Amino acid sequence: MKVVDEKLLSQEEIDALLRGRGAVGDNQLDSVEIDALGEIGNISMGTAATTLSLLLGQEVKITTPRVEVTTEKELRREYPYP
């Protein structure tokens, strides 16, 4: 993991300033956060798929997770049942 001096602007902050939108909002994820969450999801689902495969005795295929920001209302509409 690359450590960046806190006094320096990240590339994303520079890009945001050039686009005129200011700092990244609370509902936005930067590319590092998206990559980190995707990797966590990938590792978790990979472990679950391996375990399920051992239990079932069959191959279990998974896809790369997609990371996005949503609201609770949108999440409940998309997935009405737990």
Calpha distance 38→6 (Å, rounded): 25
What CA–CA distance (Å, rounded) separates 39 from 33?
10
Which residue in the block uniquely carries the two structure tokens 């949503």?
70
Cut 0.95: pTM above it: no
Please say if the pLDDT value at position 4 is more than 60.
Answer: no
Q: What is the pLDDT of residue 25?
A: 54
Mean pLDDT along residues 60-76: 89
Tell me which amino acid residue 25 is.
G
- Within 8 A by CB and 6+ apart from 65, the residues are 37, 38, 41, 42, 45
Structure tokens at 17: 């300033």
Chain centroid to CA 56: how far?
29
The whole-number pLDDT of residue 1 equals: 47
